[in-house]
Structure 1
Amino acid sequence: MKFRSITFDLDGTLLDTVADLAEACRLMLAELEAPPRSEAEIRRFVGRGMVVLVERCLTWTTPPDAALLARGIAAFQRHYATVNGRLAQFFPGVREGLAAWQATGLPLAVVTNKPAAFTGPLLERTGIAHYFSAVVSGDTTPHRKPHPAPLLHACAALGVDPAANLHIGDSKHDIETARNAGCAVYCVPYGYNEGEPLRAADCDALVADLGVALRLAHSA
């Protein structure tokens, strides 16, 4: 295999975390006495990190003012810390796929826009933290995806040139991040991508699950 390391997006690629996020948003909005959002709306809002998620929840006609946004972020963080990982589900093939990737002996890492305070607990509560040699969260570097800094940071931590890394994600932001960092990128079609379908033409491959990604990588 030409790849020397593998990086994975988290929300929408490994875990379906919308139920957790929707519950935290529900509690936040209730605390602020704001109108509720549906789980379908939350699914479309996910992808650009916590602050944007909260802002989208609070935006009906115009973006919230700074004070309301700050209150929303604080409330969301408090509620999400409680529900994080409780309702999250693995996407099909993820458990088997991670085990198969680990068996290759290649170093694996997570690169996510989720803040570190939530990333570590989520990986531990779902029992997959041991698969990863490095974890890069949304506040690990000064920039978040789609800036290349998080992915470059992960490659450096794994001791691998970005050109030899394969990134696996679920959104246009993962594709842009990988392109910016000089990595190959495979995408799964079942994630969030802000409600828009992914096209195979936009990435190096559109794969049904992590097992398919591994078989394709062996022939790349």
Structure 2
Amino acid sequence: MKFKGIIFDLDGTLVNSLEDISDAMNTVLKGLNYPTHTYDTYQYFIGSGLRNLVSKALPATNNSDDQIEICFECMVNEYREMCTVKTKPYEGILELLENLNSQNIKMAVFSNKADELTKKIASEIFPNSFDTAVGLSTEELKKPNPFEAVEISKNWNLKPEEILFVGDSDIDMKTAINANMFPVGVTWGYRTEDELKNSGAKAIINNASELIDIL
């Protein structure tokens, strides 16, 4: 079957946003005199939304629901101001998107990052590249819930099985499977190839241009 659309994860797939996310959270932690974390540690905090990241970053002794909510609001405020300071596309991504656009392949972004921030990053770093960019609006719709992915397929008038779902984490692969889309794992992001394979990836790519081969 010829694939006619692609849904991309954002962080760890299209852009390396690790440092901006980490810097924002560490700013909040420093303000509270809590221990901060390294970029390597934050690599494993990313993927399930910023609220979940905040929970993982806070000390176990200061991890109540109220504290998480307060720090989440502070973190989002910090991150909103710096979300495109160090964040950059991965190697080959801009060329890939240009190639796909020339072939009239439908493209969208679906992220567990807050919807406002997802749209901001996608529009500023990849202007006019995507039909839509959808982030997290409510915890109930967080990946691996496939609802938003299926809604994108409906808006495109495509069957889910005509769509590639490209991501760097187990959550992305599970989302693809739940949506009945073709899961493609990328190895340049925040997770390992074994994790991608074990969570259902049907294809693994090591550089952006390999996605054209799958199409």
The TM-score with structure 1 as length reference comes to 0.91
- The count of corresponding residues between Structure 1 and Structure 2 is 214
Deviation at 1:91, TM superposition (A): 1.2
The TM-score with structure 2 as length reference comes to 0.93
Deviation at 1:28, TM superposition (A): 0.9
Structure 2 counterpart of 1:134, which letter?
T
Following TM superposition, the consecutive aligned residue runs of length 4 or more in structure 1 with deviations greater than 6 angstroms are none
More strand by share: 2
Structure-2 separation of matches of 1:6 and 1:29: 37
Structure-1 separation of matches of 2:210 and 2:104: 18
Question: 1:191 aligned to 164, 189, 192, which one?
Answer: 189
Change in Cα spacing, 1:178 to 1:199, as seen in structure 2 (3 Å) is closer
The yes-or-no answer on 1:31 pairing with 2:31 is yes
Structure 2 residue aligned with 1:21: 21
Q: Which runs of 5+ in 1 are unaligned?
A: none
Structure 2 residue aligned with 1:48: 48
Structure 1 counterpart of 2:180, which letter?
G
Structure-2 separation of matches of 1:196 and 1:59: 30
Structure-1 separation of matches of 2:117 and 2:149: 19
Q: Is the 8 A contact 2:193 2:204 kept in 1?
A: no
Q: Is the 8 A contact 2:205 2:211 kept in 1?
A: yes
Structure-2 separation of matches of 1:196 and 1:184: 17
Q: Is the 8 A contact 1:15 1:90 kept in 2?
A: yes
Structure-2 separation of matches of 1:142 and 1:158: 23
Q: Is the 8 A contact 1:50 1:115 kept in 2?
A: yes
Structure 1 residue aligned with 2:124: 125
Q: Is the 8 A contact 2:25 2:75 kept in 1?
A: yes
Question: 1:169 aligned to 147, 167, 170, which one?
Answer: 167
Structure-2 separation of matches of 1:191 and 1:39: 13
Q: Which runs of 5+ in 2 are unaligned?
A: none
% identity of equivalent residues: 25
RMSD across aligned positions (CA): 1.9
SS of 2:184 mapped into structure 1: strand
Change in Cα spacing, 1:90 to 1:175, as seen in structure 2 (3 Å) is same
Pairing of 1:1-220 with structure 2 (within 5 A): 2-60=2-60, 64-126=63-125, 128-139=126-137, 142-193=140-191, 197-200=194-197, 202-217=200-215
Structure-1 separation of matches of 2:10 and 2:172: 11
